[in-house]
Structure 1
Amino acid sequence: MPEGKIIKALSGFYYVANEDGVVQCRGRGVFRKNKVTPLVGDEVVFQAENDTEGYIMEVKERKNELVRPPIANVDQAILVFSAVEPDFSTALLDRFLVLVEYNHIEPLICITKMDLTKEEQQVRLEKYAEDYRKAGYEVIFTSSETSEGLEKLKPHIEGKISVFAGQSGVGKSSLLNAIRPDLELKTDDISSHLGRGKHTTRHVELITINNGLVADTPGFSSLEFTEIEAEELNSCFPEIREISEDCKFRGCLHMAEPKCAVKAAVESETLPEYRYSHYKDFLLEIKDRKPRY
């Protein structure tokens, strides 16, 4: 039977690309019984009489998967955050980074709408970018209006499956339109009443950009740590993971333990206080999570 990759999921149909084109498929009934949901990015085995009447017979093993947005087998996550409108948030960015790190996906931080910033905002954002670069992250400043940073971003897309993820209204679709104008993805201004973006992307779809596949995904307003355990959070902050090797006690959670290297790094200002503060907040959130049965 032929094999292919799901490039779009919409209204119960899965669009599977293979060497002969794209076939519209449904999932087998047994998937629902076995609680298997095919995702965009899945490598699948399918059976089809023609281009519009196919069935997915098997979903191959995934190397990773995200729940929000629902996508599998991602090489990198391009985390799109606006400098303003809505304002840049390290707390929200760190949430995304923890999820991405936990799923072993390479992150890239992209800060958009730089054309709207004032000098003091630029200075503050440069300081944040320096902190994240020291932690090992790539940070690119961009503008869909002026094309700033687009040439730096394009090489990162080539030959990879990338997911563009971020809060609604940060300009994900505008950024993709700027890189590939013929896409004409729908965009919308942020709501002045709500202070956040309207959802303009309604489904997940892989599109070809710069010899890579990119997922433009629906934005979202919340992100919960449903799978991560308290002991695993440390490894989702690269600089904390590295510093913690010098903690006196193995398995140190960097809260009340004595001779904690992470707390010492915060006091000496070698670890940004806001990164440690977010780590503590996330740890308490995980510990307070209701048990799953």
Structure 2
Amino acid sequence: MPEGLIYKALSGYYYVMNEEGRPIQCRARGIFKKRGESPLVGDRVDYGETENGEGTVDRILPRSTELVRPPVANADLAVLVFSVLRPELNLQLLDKFLVHTEHAGLDALIVLTKMDALDDAEDGDRVRADVEAARALYASIGYETIATSSKKREGLDALRERLSRHISVFAGQSGVGKSSLVNALVPGLELATNEISDKLGRGKHTTRHVELIRLEHGGYVADTPGFSQLDFAELGIEQIGDCFREFRELSAGCKFRGCTHIHEPGCAVLAAKESGAIAASRYDHYAGFMAEWKENRRRY
């Protein structure tokens, strides 16, 4: 039975790219509904072709990862897209994205957009200094960052190389330039984009469904519906701490097992915070996320 990759799901159809690079429009067999299963974009599947030129998804092959939001299977790299101006780089939101990325078991790449906007900005030098400080901070934790300008086509070659051989999920606030970036990466692609609304100070969602876009040098990227709010309803206390890489390494030295790194004596993370071995911003964001998690737990 032939195999293929689901690269798009829309209106009850699954679009499968076969091994020869030919797309086939498929329906899922009824057995999936009976099992409570659903094929996802990114799934490797066995399929069969019907007489009318369409096909059926017959079997879903084992997944390496499975994301709920966005609904993508087998992604292995999260591309977290943040602009440096309009909206300015938000490290608290970046850390929230990183927590969810770590929890999902994906590697993360931080991509900074609109670098060209700093050239004419009144406070461009200050913002540039803040951006470089942030890049140094996240590099020290083990996260790679790439600075880009879609308008000037800067940083695109490095990004293409990093994305090759991966199924990558693009995520970030609306208005940071995700669609513009993907358009710049894939010649001839024209994803809808929206400028930042002056009235609202944020962009409009322009992507309506999840679709894998094939890159010229190998690999796929998922341009996904934008979102700016994430919650911690599905994460436990210990898991939030484990999703901060530098905390995870230190936690073995904590006096108490299951240490929350908030108030316990003999906490290695708190000691590192006091000595300056971990960034104050990272710890403050962690403490805020813990408070948010506890509030959600009381509410529900």
TM-score, normalized by length of structure 1?
Answer: 0.94
The match for 1:6 is 6
- For 1:165-176, list aligned pairs within 5 A: 165-176=171-182
Q: Which moved more, 1:20-29 or 1:252-261?
A: 20-29
Query: Once structures 1 and 2 are overlaid, which stretch shifts more, 216-225 or 77-86?
Result: 216-225
- Residue 229 of structure 1 corresponds to 236
Separation in structure 2 between the aligned mates of residue 264 and residue 174 of structure 1, nearest angstrom: 43
- Give the AA of the match of 2:269: V
On the 8 A contact 2:233/2:297 being kept in 1, the answer is no
Aligned-partner Cα distance in 2 for 1:51–1:137: 49
The residue number in structure 2 matching 1:63 is 64
**Equivalent residue letter for 1:181:** P
Kept in 2: contact 1:24–1:51 (CA 8 A): no
How far the C-alpha of 1:287 sits from its partner, in A, is 3.1
Shift of 1:194: 1.7
3-state SS of paired residue (1:275): helix
Cα deviation digits, residues 69-106 of structure 1 (max 9, x gap): 21110121111111111121111111111111111111
Please state how far the C-alpha of 1:2 moved relative to its aligned partner. Answer: 2.3
> How far has the Cα of 1:239 moved from its partner?
0.7
Kindly report which structure 2 residues correspond to 1:1-293, keeping only aligned pairs within 5 A, or say none: 1-20=1-20, 21-50=22-51, 52-117=53-118, 118-209=124-215, 210-290=217-297
Supply the distance in 1 between the matched residues of 2:46 and 2:257 (Cα, whole angstroms). 45
- Name the SS of the counterpart of 1:132 in structure 2: helix
Whether the 8 Å CA contact 1:78–1:109 is kept in 2: the answer is yes
**8 A contact 2:174–2:202 mirrored in 1:** yes
Q: Which moved more, 1:280-289 or 1:250-259?
A: 280-289
Residue 121 (structure 2) aligns with:
none
Q: Which moved more, 1:65-74 or 1:28-37?
A: 28-37
User: Taking structure 1 as reference, are residues 49 and 289 closer, same or farther at Cα in structure 2, changes over 3 Å only?
Assistant: same
Q: Deviations over 1:266-291 (max 9, x none)?
A: 12222111211121222233333349
Report how far residue 52 of structure 1 moved: 5.0
Structure 2: stretches of 5+ with no match in the other structure: 119-123
How far apart in 2 are the matches of 1:50 and 1:73?
Answer: 30
**Which shows bigger deviation, 140-149 or 45-54?**
45-54
Compared CA separation, residues 286 and 32, structure 1 to 2 (3 A): farther
Q: AA paired with 1:251?
A: G
> Which portions of structure 1, spanning 4 or more consecutive aligned residues, are displaced by more than 6 angstroms?
none
Deviation readout 1:150-176 (Å, 9 max, x if unpaired): 222121011111111111111011111
SS of the aligned residue for 1:25 comes to: strand
Unaligned runs of 5+ in 1: none
CA-CA distance at 1:255 after TM superposition = 0.8
Task: Write the deviation string for residues 25-71 of structure 1: whole angstroms up to 9, x where unpaired.
Answer: 12233433433221110111222215753222222221112222211
Amino acid at match of 1:53: E
Q: What secondary structure sits across from 1:146 in the alignment?
A: coil
Read off the aligned partner of 2:37 and give its amino acid letter: V
The structure in which a higher percent of residues are strand is 1
How many percent identity over aligned positions?
52
Paired residues in the alignment total 293
